[in-house]
Structure 1
Amino acid sequence: MSHLPGVDNAVARVQKDDTQDRLVAYLVPAPGTEGAAKGVDRQEFLLSAPGLLDGAEPRLALELSQDPATYTRAKSYRHFLDAPVDPALIGKRFREALGEAGTTLRAEAATTPLGEADLAAVLGVLSATHLPNRALPKYRYPSAGSTYPVRTFLHTPEGHLYFHPLTGELAAHDLDAVAAWSDGHGSELQLVVHWPAITPLYEARSRRLALLEAGHMLALLTEALNASGIPYRVVPEERPLDAEHTGVCRVLLGAAGGFRPAPLESVCRIREAGGTEFAEPGGGHAYDLAAVPVFDRTGDAHAVLSRARCLLTLEGEATAEHLLSAGFLFQRLAERLDADGLGACPLGLTPTDRTVYALAVGAVDEEARRAPESPAEPPTLAEAVTAELARVLPEYMLPTGYRVLDALPLSPNGKLVADRLPPVEFQGTYVAPATDTERALAEVWARVLDRPAGAIGTTDSFFAVGGNSLAAMKLVRLLQRDLGGELKLRDLYANDTILKLAEHLGTAPAAAVREEGEL
């Protein structure tokens, strides 16, 4: 086990339980292995929607036209057909996206005011909606971990307004430093990163991910401006505005120039059926899934690539211009690939030092295109480690459970102290619901997990029987609605069985003010 990718140290032992003895294993990650930011409850963080500016005062409610089918199609595909992908077709579509971006319109007077219909048509592409069976709001563009830290502002001679993507309102605000980001041009749209909405989760990677998101937004905005016949000029600019905000892009309305993305180099790597390596057709740097640390195989990126047949990367520098351009180009490219029956999923990984952005590509069918979302469904750590060990060990030698430690407990002379190893926890036997509350909880769990209610015992952990972060958010929302109790996401994590949750709901006061979140 110590030779598994990403494992620094490991030990196996027999754990004696009340009913049986089990072979268990303890794993210590190698230094530098990526993982979630420590000390941050990811689900609670996303539910709080820190990217939204909710304290702003509404001034103008835009009448947005939101087609649910458009939002359904605008998704990241995480499941693909096991079919080959033509790199020549992808290269052709990328060149089309790059060439079309330079189209510009004739400039008009900078002081020409935009009507409400124009504003609704342009800003509406950045709005979010709620789709059935989806925990979080759905946007038409991707964001790292659904954080959506990039805010949109409208500057006009009459004032500076924030566009709220969930309400469709233009609102006044008190962010004076953000409002001052203008050179006196008549009207402009501004994309501004709100760092507290992303840095707690992504730390040093936040800048790159936020600028890529802004590039996706820019692609939608410029497409809407072109369709509305509104001239514009894009000014990429990375300017700190205050301790929490950085302006990354201005779109000057009524000006000439348009936007021409940087000519980034595209590299298409293909994975053959049954293989683990993405390789360039003519040779060059390859990306091997088998070399990915086992701890990183529990993330979405590895799960997506294990099903994709193409890994497309854009190569360049980590400048604001290149990052904005990469997001812009991949947004336009994904729309073209969709028309060819190919799905795409943006990835946060960087296979080479010059990788600006990576995209997984694979064939999809009509059923996948109609589905409201495409969950990654990555394996658990136990599944990932067991699959790797099964390549070299017989079944009877495979551990039945795992636990990750920061370090193994050692004596002063460096020997393992086995009795200081914490126990590996396992699911118990089935215990049927015994009360009305327990039966009601089992029914809701079954709906969320798409499992028979009779298969979920009252002592089963929600996360051990198929629950994940999105399912947890959906469960909290349904329980608040159906049972009327005051329930927070952290309560589910602290009471992850039906038995514990029923007891918690029995002692919790009725909800005076429920925690709604953005579901």
Structure 2
Amino acid sequence: LNGYRVELDEIAAKLTRLPGVDRAVARIQQGDKHDRLVGYLVPSADYTPLTGAGDPQLDKQAFLMSGHGVLEGTAPGTPLVPRTDPAAYTRAKSYRHFLPEDIDPALPRKHFAEVLATATPAPNGTGGRAGLGVEDWTAVLEQLSAVSLPDRALPKYRYPSAGSTYPVRTFVKLSGRTEGLGSGHFSYHPPTGELRPHGLDAVAAFSAAGAAEGAEGGAGDEIQLVAYWPAITPLYGDQARRLALLEAGHMLALLTDVLDARRIPYTVELADRELDGDHTAVCRIVLGTSGGFEPSQLGLACFLREAGAVDYTEHEGSRRYAAGDLPVFDRASDVWAVLRRARCLLALEGGEGAAEAVSAGFLFQRLSERLRAEGLGTCPLGLQLTDRGVYTMAVGAVDEQARAASDSPADPPTLTAAVTEELAKALPEYMLPSGYGVLDALPLSANGKLAADRLPPVEFAGVHVAPATETERALAAAWADILGRPAEAISTNDSFFSVGGNSLAAMKLVRLLQQDLGFELKLRDLYRNDTILKLAEHVGTALTDAVREEGEL
């Protein structure tokens, strides 16, 4: 190939030794203009993606854009206009880029001790206020409201959620004690800040069951956090339950923080009760009672990474987190990108129950707020760092520009870049494949040998092709705006995702094309037509159809 003798079997042998790879082959793929060296990888049978194994056929971006976690279809309700501060939302984001500075583990340990000291069983005693006014309800529930920011495709909340799914819904039972709000069962609608009446009998029955079972204050006002599984299970599979419980803990921390500040007594009752096939009650906050919330006892472990290293070692301990042993497929994930940039990982350790997961989210929410005040950024991670790990959070130094940005995308490497980084340690450059395909299994002939003719071709972008029409030039300008690249550097046959585009950038591009350029476009259209040529043809077809329909009408 290109004058070099390429040992395909040697390349395949090196690929097979990569973590997480069961079988591999290397081939010369013929092209119209030149041939390319490509590789095919088959994951190990026991491989599970670090970020969870959901439905492999799921259109993840379209799924997230649908916002399944928000209960829609309910009648407009009572507006509790939140006093949202956009800066508070941008500061509360998950940070995925950090400055190359060491973290003193004494700092998170000090603040963790403060968090534990303030999470007392009865913070407001019996002398707190007996009832809530409309202004109180607004201040409490606005902690869970969502805002739209200019550079984000999805609404922004003040607490994290796995993959921005936000599957935990907030319900409120009002006893009629608050003038102007009435009584009944309501859902809180984060995008509008409304309390909307709902007709979910299973959720309403949860409140009635609390009263019947003698739950403290069961006939009074309540806030209920309920996981809605269709909003997260398709994306995360078996990990969905744990991730939703962690999210509920974050929400609980925000709600109780305001209740404490306003001296409103409450009792948190953890439930973990299935209500129907789609909903599970995580907890209820019974207002007007004095039990408070005492999180489960969890220990804090701190792991540090030295500059230039990949693995993390425990501070004042002997344990090690071998990030370098993660399967190579995970190295094209957001989690891997964060692991390579962070200098400190915090792990909460304890039991495996629902109470421990909710408590972990609660504690890390309050800890992250304190660390942000110290100029540190945090990023919760779904991985379990230790055998008894409940929750993991990356910590790193960030500058003012990072704090002011509306988002902090991970920008993970491509699979090709991740594999090349490892393979380059053992092979010369001319024996490094320029692209890879991931297969469930290698195609075999009847006698059990590789059926090379049945290997799917690995796709590559072609030579540079400049935009030729007004539509193509408009699309190229939009791509350049979103990707931060000169428009003339973008070829019309480049895949959006091969020139720096990711899921977040795709959402931004679709919104830009819809709102500013007036294109009728959905996110799935971009994934199916990922080059300017294909997208221009798709848009042109859509416009032609629209004109034809208008003429017929």
TM-score category by the smaller chain? over 0.9
d(CA) in 2 for partners of 1:108 and 1:237?
Answer: 27
- Residue 199 of structure 2 is aligned with which of 163, 171, 174? 174
Sort the Cα spacing of 1:440 and 1:328 in 2 relative to 1 into closer, same or farther, 3 A. Answer: same
- Residue 22 of structure 1 is aligned with which of 36, 39, 45? 36
d(CA) in 2 for partners of 1:225 and 1:417?
Answer: 66
CA drift at 1:108:
6.2
Check conservation: 1:11, 1:27, Cα contact below 8 A: yes
Any gaps of 5 or more consecutive residues in structure 1? 513-519
d(CA) in 1 for partners of 2:278 and 2:308?
Answer: 46
Q: Quote the RMSD (CA, aligned, Å).
A: 1.5
Residue 161 (1) aligns with residue 186 (2): yes
Q: Secondary structure, in 3 states, of the residue corresponding to 2:19? A: coil
Residue 326 (structure 1) aligns with:
360
TM-score (norm 2): 0.90
Residue 438 (1) aligns with residue 457 (2): no
- Residue 430 of structure 2 is aligned with which of 392, 396, 400? 396
d(CA) in 1 for partners of 2:403 and 2:545?
Answer: 39
Q: Where in structure 2 are the equivalents of 1:476-491 lying within 5 Å?
A: 476-491=510-525
**One-letter amino acid matched to 1:432:** A
Greater CA drift, 81-90 or 482-491: 482-491
Check conservation: 1:484, 1:510, Cα contact below 8 A: no
d(CA) in 1 for partners of 2:59 and 2:545?
Answer: 23
Residue 104 (structure 1) aligns with:
123
CA drift at 1:226:
1.3
- Residue 220 of structure 2 is aligned with which of 186, 194, 203? 186
- Residue 493 of structure 1 is aligned with which of 522, 527, 536? 527
Residue 259 (1) aligns with residue 293 (2): yes
CA drift at 1:511:
10
Check conservation: 1:98, 1:263, Cα contact below 8 A: no
Residue 13 (1) aligns with residue 21 (2): no
Q: Secondary structure, in 3 states, of the residue corresponding to 2:496? A: coil
**One-letter amino acid matched to 2:171:** F
d(CA) in 2 for partners of 1:498 and 1:239?
Answer: 49
Check conservation: 1:68, 1:131, Cα contact below 8 A: yes
d(CA) in 2 for partners of 1:123 and 1:319?
Answer: 27
Residue 274 (structure 1) aligns with:
308
Greater CA drift, 465-474 or 325-334: 465-474
Q: Secondary structure, in 3 states, of the residue corresponding to 1:180? A: helix
Residue 241 (structure 1) aligns with:
275
CA deviation profile, 1:253-309 (whole Å, cap 9, x unmatched): 111021111120111111111111111133333111210101011111111011111
Residue 294 (structure 1) aligns with:
328
d(CA) in 1 for partners of 2:95 and 2:48?
Answer: 23
d(CA) in 2 for partners of 1:282 and 1:511?
Answer: 67
Residue 47 (structure 2) aligns with:
33
Residue 57 (structure 1) aligns with:
75
**One-letter amino acid matched to 1:254:** G
d(CA) in 1 for partners of 2:330 and 2:219?
Answer: 47
**One-letter amino acid matched to 1:433:** P
Check conservation: 1:350, 1:357, Cα contact below 8 A: yes
- Residue 89 of structure 1 is aligned with which of 74, 94, 107? 107
d(CA) in 2 for partners of 1:235 and 1:121?
Answer: 21
d(CA) in 2 for partners of 1:510 and 1:308?
Answer: 50
Sort the Cα spacing of 1:511 and 1:14 in 2 relative to 1 into closer, same or farther, 3 A. Answer: closer
**One-letter amino acid matched to 2:77:** R
Q: Secondary structure, in 3 states, of the residue corresponding to 1:282? A: coil
Q: Secondary structure, in 3 states, of the residue corresponding to 2:498? A: coil
CA drift at 1:485:
2.9
Between the two proteins, the alignment pairs up a number of residues equal to: 511
CA drift at 1:510:
8.1
Check conservation: 1:445, 1:453, Cα contact below 8 A: yes
CA deviation profile, 1:384-424 (whole Å, cap 9, x unmatched): 00011111212111111111111111223322222221211
Q: Secondary structure, in 3 states, of the residue corresponding to 1:181? A: helix
Q: Secondary structure, in 3 states, of the residue corresponding to 2:206? A: coil
Q: Secondary structure, in 3 states, of the residue corresponding to 1:92? A: helix
CA drift at 1:509:
4.5
Residue 205 (structure 1) aligns with:
239
Check conservation: 2:90, 2:405, Cα contact below 8 A: yes
Greater CA drift, 167-176 or 463-472: 463-472
Sort the Cα spacing of 1:21 and 1:511 in 2 relative to 1 into closer, same or farther, 3 A. Answer: closer
- Residue 149 of structure 2 is aligned with which of 106, 111, 131? 131
Check conservation: 1:121, 1:228, Cα contact below 8 A: no
d(CA) in 2 for partners of 1:470 and 1:59?
Answer: 32
d(CA) in 1 for partners of 2:151 and 2:544?
Answer: 26
**One-letter amino acid matched to 1:162:** S
d(CA) in 2 for partners of 1:298 and 1:415?
Answer: 30
Residue 362 (structure 1) aligns with:
396
Residue 152 (1) aligns with residue 170 (2): yes
CA drift at 1:107:
3.1
Check conservation: 2:128, 2:263, Cα contact below 8 A: no
d(CA) in 2 for partners of 1:95 and 1:500?
Answer: 56
d(CA) in 2 for partners of 1:401 and 1:203?
Answer: 29
CA deviation profile, 1:169-205 (whole Å, cap 9, x unmatched): 0001110110121223310100000110000011110
CA drift at 1:136:
0.7
Q: Secondary structure, in 3 states, of the residue corresponding to 1:463? A: helix
d(CA) in 1 for partners of 2:196 and 2:502?
Answer: 35
Q: Report the identity percentage.
A: 63
Q: Secondary structure, in 3 states, of the residue corresponding to 2:58? A: coil
Sort the Cα spacing of 1:457 and 1:54 in 2 relative to 1 into closer, same or farther, 3 A. Answer: same
Check conservation: 2:95, 2:378, Cα contact below 8 A: yes
Residue 77 (structure 1) aligns with:
95
- Residue 343 of structure 2 is aligned with which of 302, 306, 309? 309
Check conservation: 1:300, 1:377, Cα contact below 8 A: yes
d(CA) in 1 for partners of 2:138 and 2:444?
Answer: 64
Check conservation: 1:480, 1:487, Cα contact below 8 A: yes
d(CA) in 2 for partners of 1:387 and 1:310?
Answer: 23
CA deviation profile, 1:420-455 (whole Å, cap 9, x unmatched): 212111110111111111111111111111111111
Sort the Cα spacing of 1:367 and 1:331 in 2 relative to 1 into closer, same or farther, 3 A. Answer: same
Q: Where in structure 2 are the equivalents of 1:404-443 lying within 5 Å?
A: 404-443=438-477
Any gaps of 5 or more consecutive residues in structure 2? 1-14, 176-182, 212-217, 547-553
CA deviation profile, 1:456-505 (whole Å, cap 9, x unmatched): 11111111111111111111111112332321111111111111111111
**One-letter amino acid matched to 1:83:** E
Residue 495 (structure 2) aligns with:
461
- Residue 2 of structure 1 is aligned with which of 16, 33, 56? 16
d(CA) in 1 for partners of 2:311 and 2:298?
Answer: 24
d(CA) in 2 for partners of 1:377 and 1:209?
Answer: 22
CA drift at 1:508:
0.8
